Amino acid sequence: MMPEMNGIEFLNKIRKELGRNVNVVMVTAKKSIEDVVVAKKLGIVDYIMKPFTPDRILKPLQQTASSNGNGAAKPQTAETSRQ
């Protein structure tokens, strides 16, 4: 647990200060269905419970890295398609 607030409180703070343009993958040891529901309503990409395998966390991180902040894939441009 984080020292000053829990993950849902932190997610609320992110949403209030930065909006939904920030992708969030929550990682927790807390097994709470209520927190999963609240986090999903707040627009998280994924909710991963510890312990997890490297493959379990890799997929949502790859999806997040290839999105433009709202879950949609980044549009291809001439510059990115040449890479």
User: Under DSSP, is residue 75 helix (H, G, I), strand (E, B) or coil?
Assistant: coil
More confident residue, 70 or 3: 3
From CA 83, how far away is CA 3, in angstroms rounded?
A: 42
Domains and CATH numbers, the chain: 7-82 (3.40.50.2300)
Structure tokens at 56: 């379990």
Residue 82 has pLDDT above 90, yes or no: no
Condensed to tens digits (0 to 9), the pLDDT of residues 15-45 reads 999 999 899 999 999 889 999 999 999 999 9
Structure tokens at 79: 């510059």
